[in-house]
Structure 1
């Protein structure tokens, strides 16, 4: 596809250069033709007019000359102009062009000379053929040069576009490394600068996120211990739930920080997909597990269960019962019966992936559950897709590979060892 785009750019540049070269060749050819034709006719008329003047003197001296009095075939315009007192040279067009020169002599007679203009016409046709051949050759050569330039320009532009796409997918190490000083080089340098700035900002964000989470871990642990010392009662239960939620949030933030830092290392083993699905939702009584077909894959069970647990929890939180987890070989479908994913969230999920703590237009927040699920899926080399099925509700589909690749892809599109 990208080669096709580069070829398209090359063809467009080639076509533009070819049209320009053909236009220039045509204009030059027309100008040369007209100038040559005008010069030929001027010279021929001058020569024939001089011969006519000599013939007039010869006629006056009663000497022989090639001129004739009122010759047959004398064009009417020539005869009328001469009888009006004008000395005339006139080109009679046709298959056999003839150049006339005529003047009035004694007794109102018309003395005329004629010469075939065919040699000049043939020379002009030969010149036109030469101009056409030279123009065609120049057009071909310039078009070939335009093709090379267009293909090279298209490839450089596509290299910058591919790098920008890789950066958009999270590969912040991607660089164009431009050469030259033209506009494409400036564009490539801008893409590299953008990647540097974006990488620095994301790294700063990751460090801040990790630092905040680490700093919160100690006081949250102290709060958890202190809650255990409170007397039983509704207030204690409320505080306990709040502290539990806060602790889970801190752990989620730390997990996101680890995924962003790409320090996670999968621990693989052979497991049944159905067993991992049941373990993932063991604490969620409202979730039903259906097994259409089972499969055994080599993966990190803890991370798979984390993904499925997050998806099921998200379905319970934002959807409507029933919530089901369906195992169909390496495919796991997590469905709910709610209104489905908001369209603006679905658009983000299909492009850049879930954004942490993002709030949709409808006011629903996504939290960190989907972010962690997508990050863990990338670590495992799995594919996680989101959609609103025709029957209603929301559906997340996890496709597990039969085995982890030798190198798994981290949450930002870079590589981490498996």
Structure 2
């Protein structure tokens, strides 16, 4: 149940409660006034009838009436002049007093007119209360819908910001708490955008500054004499160079200066070149085709996905080519639940890995960024038969010739 409906129900409940309380109070006050007035009138008539009875004149009162209620008779014989209302389908109001040691003078009249008047009042109160409740409920519903829409708009904007749309903003309307919430969301987006931009600039600056010394180190490694130490330094410099290139690639995508150079290439050939230097990675072609794309970027995406599967999953990593679709699957335990939830909602996050010390987290980030540049679709899932699977759907080019299944 959304906020708007809750507000509408709360207003309707308040309106019903107020109408019911007012109706009960009016009913009780009116009923008490009517009964007090009727008793006073009948008591005066009884006093007049008692005076006439004492003077020997005819009066409407009756001495010792057979239908006198027992409570009235008991009270009068105790020396009290009383008025008494007997309820039921035909209410009767009694007034009685003692005129001798043994005789009771009583007067009665129907209380039905007052009962009918009170019933008409109750119907009028119910009608007015229902009309007021309906009007207030409609007003509450309109207010609740407006509040709900504003809250929903703020929530959707916050979700868009969480998914990477830092240009999304809330349009504050009014000066209430929801308007303040919208202003806070906008301020958060501004601060987040400024922070991310600062981080991107720092990342790009660091990568550019490291590129020259890393290139020098790579050249210097070639001058070292062969041996275990030289091999260790060569591997370390290679890893450092790859990391710098990854950071530079991310910086170029962040700055939106990356250039796509489309060509017509076979998907199977690009997949084989992508894993040519990776052991325990194989390509299976179910159906090959030709697409128009940037082959360097496609191979980079497939190489990153395969390397990620070998590093975090288990070999062998299989690249299955089915037309413009390439499925990259490893034999490991699959994506961890927390990482898989992030991949499905906001995509991979740089420098976030499945476990500390297992990588930089740039592989999937670069793969997603490259796929976006190519106009391709990259999705992730845990395969039902085990292992993590990434599916790359390339924009189709001209149809290619189908081939039978082949392995690398």
- Give the structure-1-normalised TM-score: 0.89
Secondary structure of 1:108's partner? coil
Q: Answer yes or no: is the 8 Å Cα contact 1:342–1:362 preserved in 2.
A: no
Tell me how far 1:152 sits from its aligned partner: 0.6
Structure 1: state its 5+ residue gaps.
404-418
Deviates more, 1:123-132 or 1:315-324: 315-324
Tell me how far 1:265 sits from its aligned partner: 4.0
Deviations 1:96-119 (A, max 9, x none): 111111111134311111111111
User: What residue in structure 1 maps to residue 208 of structure 2?
Assistant: 214
Deviates more, 1:34-43 or 1:388-397: 388-397
Tell me how far 1:178 sits from its aligned partner: 1.0
Tell me how far 1:217 sits from its aligned partner: 1.1
In structure 2, the CA distance between the partners of 1:170 and 1:177, relative to structure 1 (3 Å rule), is same
Q: Answer yes or no: is the 8 Å Cα contact 2:340–2:381 preserved in 1.
A: yes
- Cα distance in 1, alignment partners of residues 321 and 41 from structure 2: 102
- Cα distance in 1, alignment partners of residues 13 and 334 from structure 2: 54
In structure 2, the CA distance between the partners of 1:215 and 1:142, relative to structure 1 (3 Å rule), is same
Alignment of 1:237 with 2:231, yes or no, is yes
Secondary structure of 1:115's partner? strand
User: What residue in structure 1 maps to residue 248 of structure 2?
Assistant: 254
Aligned with residue 378 of structure 1, among 350, 372, 375: 372
- Cα distance in 2, alignment partners of residues 391 and 363 from structure 1: 28
- Cα distance in 2, alignment partners of residues 386 and 210 from structure 1: 28
Tell me how far 1:164 sits from its aligned partner: 0.6
Q: Answer yes or no: is the 8 Å Cα contact 2:311–2:358 preserved in 1.
A: no
Alignment of 1:104 with 2:98, yes or no, is yes
Tell me how far 1:366 sits from its aligned partner: 4.7
Q: Answer yes or no: is the 8 Å Cα contact 2:154–2:170 preserved in 1.
A: yes
User: What residue in structure 2 maps to residue 311 of structure 1?
Assistant: 305
Structure 2: state its 5+ residue gaps.
398-408
Q: Answer yes or no: is the 8 Å Cα contact 2:312–2:354 preserved in 1.
A: no
User: What residue in structure 1 maps to residue 124 of structure 2?
Assistant: 130
In structure 2, the CA distance between the partners of 1:120 and 1:299, relative to structure 1 (3 Å rule), is farther
- Cα distance in 1, alignment partners of residues 28 and 323 from structure 2: 81
Tell me how far 1:79 sits from its aligned partner: 1.3
Alignment of 1:24 with 2:24, yes or no, is no
User: What residue in structure 1 maps to residue 268 of structure 2?
Assistant: 274
User: What residue in structure 1 maps to residue 107 of structure 2?
Assistant: 113
> How many corresponding residue pairs?
397
Secondary structure of 1:374's partner? helix
Deviations 1:263-306 (A, max 9, x none): 33433344433232223223335321111223444433322221
- Cα distance in 1, alignment partners of residues 57 and 362 from structure 2: 117
Tell me how far 1:169 sits from its aligned partner: 0.3
Alignment of 1:89 with 2:83, yes or no, is yes
- Cα distance in 2, alignment partners of residues 296 and 136 from structure 1: 72
User: What residue in structure 2 maps to residue 193 of structure 1?
Assistant: 187
Deviations 1:142-163 (A, max 9, x none): 1101110111111011101101
The equivalences for 1:9-408 within 5 A come to: 9-361=3-355, 364-402=358-396
Secondary structure of 2:321's partner? strand
Tell me how far 1:62 sits from its aligned partner: 1.5
In structure 2, the CA distance between the partners of 1:239 and 1:362, relative to structure 1 (3 Å rule), is closer
Tell me how far 1:226 sits from its aligned partner: 2.5
- Give the structure-2-normalised TM-score: 0.91
Q: Answer yes or no: is the 8 Å Cα contact 2:92–2:109 preserved in 1.
A: yes
Tell me how far 1:212 sits from its aligned partner: 0.4
Q: Answer yes or no: is the 8 Å Cα contact 1:172–1:199 preserved in 2.
A: yes
- Cα distance in 2, alignment partners of residues 318 and 246 from structure 1: 19
- Cα distance in 1, alignment partners of residues 118 and 396 from structure 2: 78
- Cα distance in 2, alignment partners of residues 149 and 318 from structure 1: 53
